[in-house]
């Protein structure tokens, strides 16, 4: 008996389930996400979005400060403040920030990158005012209660986090080594987001407070409230809770030079790992710059899924790698294109490097197939539209509105962003591979098991990431 329901689906979306068929682009409609924007007298930028699908709301705050705002010798401050801001403020006793939110049925979290620090509260819409009160109080009245004990306590928490996630994590020290190899020492991306142990230990209470005064005022922040709200009422509540927050200092802004590599750097370090890993990286265009989307698509063609070029060849056909991944790490001032792979016993890192070289060289000379490009676009579009179904968290609409506002100046940048990917052509993938992935200007890091320095890639010099 024929599968009537499946046949009906095929007719509707025109998916022909033949061997190796590629699903055509299904999402051709424009995206309409209505927003209201305004700015308070203290400089706080506010973005509101009504979505009455569920009786929930997301409050999302971005401070336009990350580890890239730090200075050599004083690293780790942005991440340290991510922790300190949860410890209470003038009108919120220590420990009550999380407790009050939990009692209201809310989820909340924060994160720090090189470019920004963000916080969110996802909660029932009738608890919106609680989140606005909490965020406004720590924005305006945090330093009233910060003591040396607060700083020391969170300093120890961050140090322990560094030990767990970096120093004692297999392959974790690559996050320390790679920035130092890619960027000159005075570049704000030349140190890790978590900072160095020495800098965290040396920081005084006054150092930390000065960093807050420089960067955590409302004039260096943006607030998104999205979800089951009435715009006029939400605006009144925001004005009520944030208008008395004093304007901060004008944040110092340095001119950031575009980095470049003139040579290939080949290094290795020994670690408590079982399988050797090769990690290579190149400098690439900044987030939203020309070439950024194309390199995202190239990464998908190379390693996203079992039919991708590197996975199919290294993991499936040769069984030479335990895993392989390519990705474009996009940032505000400069990005990197990365590929890493773990070698299985019987294969060397040079074997993996040779295959990676060969596959990228094919892209440079021949481009990619229509099928590969469509597959990558379909995956990207599916992920893009799935994220629009989410309201809060780190990947929902509220956070995306803040991200677009910060990086492009246009909070409702959804259509322009999607069009960047939809317009990518086969030729452009070949062009970016040739332009941004030269073999003589990259960093190649081998992470090898302790006592096995000979398993590093050829011509590698040993380093000792701290």
Q: Is residue 258 part of a domain?
A: no
pLDDT in tens, 331-389: 999 999 999 999 999 999 999 999 999 999 999 999 999 999 999 999 999 999 999 99
Domain that holds residue 292: 265-462
Number of domains in the chain: 2
Residues 51 and 156 in one domain: yes
Q: Are 285 and 328 in contact (CB under 8 A)?
A: no
Q: What is the Cα–Cα distance from 79 to 114, expressed in whole angstroms?
A: 10
Q: Is residue 40 part of a domain?
A: yes
pLDDT at 1: 43
Does the pLDDT at position 21 exceed 80? no
Q: Is residue 31 part of a domain?
A: no
Assign residue 311 the CATH number of its domain. 3.30.830.10
Residues 334 and 211 in one domain: no
Q: Is residue 247 part of a domain?
A: no
Q: What is the Cα–Cα distance from 125 to 106, expressed in whole angstroms?
A: 10
Residues 87 and 216 in one domain: yes
pLDDT in tens, 144-159: 998 888 888 888 888 8
Q: What's the whole-number mean pLDDT along residues 312-327?
A: 97
Instruction: Among 185, 210, 242, give the residue marking a domain's end.
Output: 242
pLDDT-derived band of residue 28, with 50, 70 and 90 as boundaries?
A: low
Residues 69 and 153 in one domain: yes
Residues 333 and 411 in one domain: yes
Q: Is residue 4 part of a domain?
A: no
Q: Is residue 194 part of a domain?
A: yes
Q: Are 101 and 134 in contact (CB under 8 A)?
A: yes
Q: What is the pTM of this model?
A: 0.91
pLDDT in tens, 378-428: 999 999 999 999 999 999 999 999 999 999 999 999 999 999 999 999 999
Q: Which helix (H) or strand (E) holds 82?
A: helix 77-84
Q: Is residue 71 part of a domain?
A: yes
Q: What is the Cα–Cα distance from 323 to 328, expressed in whole angstroms?
A: 17
Q: Which of 21-30, 37-46, 165-174, 426-435 shows the lowest per-residue confidence on average (mean pLDDT)?
A: 21-30
Report CA-CA distances (Å) from 128 to 60, 93, 106, 149, 235.
12, 20, 10, 31, 12
Task: Measure the N-to-C terminal CA separation of the chain; round to a whole number of Å.
Answer: 66
Q: Report the largest interatomic distance among the alpha carbons of the chain, rounded to a whole angstrom.
A: 77
Residues 406 and 309 in one domain: yes
pLDDT in tens, 7-18: 443 344 443 333
Q: Are 380 and 294 in contact (CB under 8 A)?
A: no
pLDDT at 12: 43
* CA neighbor of 92 nearest in space, from 142, 46, 45: 142
């Amino acid at each position: 008996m024929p599968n009537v329901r499946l046949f009906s689906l095929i007719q509707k979306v025109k998916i022909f389930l033949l061997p190796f068929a590629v699903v055509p682009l299904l999402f051709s409609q424009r995206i309409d996400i209505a927003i209201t924007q305004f700015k308070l007298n203290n400089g706080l930028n506010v973005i509101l979005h009504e979505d009455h699908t569920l009786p929930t709301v997301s409050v999302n705050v971005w401070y336009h400060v990350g580890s890239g705002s730090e200075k050599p010798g004083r690293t780790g401050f942005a991440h340290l403040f991510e922790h300190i801001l949860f410890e209470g403020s003038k009108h919120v006793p220590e420990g009550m920030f999380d407790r009050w939110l939990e009692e209201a049925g809310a989820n909340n979290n924060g994160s720090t990158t090189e470019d920004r620090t963000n916080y969110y509260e996802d909660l029932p819409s009738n608890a919106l005012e609680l989140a606005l009160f909490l965020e406004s109080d720590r924005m305006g009245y945090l330093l009233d209660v910060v003591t040396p004990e607060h700083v020391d306590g969170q300093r120890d928490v961050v140090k322990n986090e560094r030990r767990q996630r970096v120093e004692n994590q297999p392959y974790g020290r690559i996050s320390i080594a790679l920035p130092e190899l890619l960027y000159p020492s005075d570049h704000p991306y030349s140190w890790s987001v978590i900072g160095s142990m020495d800098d965290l230990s040396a920081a005084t209470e006054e150092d930390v407070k000065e960093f807050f005064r420089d960067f955590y005022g409302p004039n260096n922040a943006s607030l998104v409230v999205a979800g089951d709200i009435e715009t006029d009422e939400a605006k009144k509540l925001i004005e009520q809770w944030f208008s008395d927050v004093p304007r901060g200092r004008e944040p110092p802004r340095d001119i950031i030079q575009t980095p470049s590599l003139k040579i290939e750097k080949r290094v290795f370090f020994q670690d408590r790992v079982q399988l050797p890993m090769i990690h290579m990286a190149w400098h690439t265009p900044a987030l939203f710059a020309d070439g950024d989307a194309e390199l995202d698509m190239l990464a998908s063609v190379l390693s996203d899924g079992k039919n991708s070029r590197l996975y199919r060849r290294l993991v499936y056909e040769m069984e030479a790698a335990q895993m392989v991944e390519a990705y474009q790490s996009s940032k505000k001032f400069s990005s990197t294109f990365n590929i890493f792979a773990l070698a299985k016993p019987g294969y060397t890192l040079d074997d993996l490097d040779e295959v990676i070289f060969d596959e990228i060289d094919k892209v440079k000379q021949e481009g990619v197939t229509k099928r590969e490009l469509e597959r990558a676009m379909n995956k990207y579009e599916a992920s893009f539209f799935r994220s629009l179904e989410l309201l809060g968290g780190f990947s929902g609409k509220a956070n995306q509105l803040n991200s677009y506002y910060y990086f492009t100046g246009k909070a409702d940048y959804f259509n322009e962003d999607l069009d960047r990917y939809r317009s990518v052509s086969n030729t452009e993938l070949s062009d970016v591979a040739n332009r941004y992935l030269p073999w003589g200007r990259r960093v190649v890091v081998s992470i090898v098991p302790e006592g096995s320095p000979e398993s590093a890639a050829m011509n590698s010099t040993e380093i000792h990431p701290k």
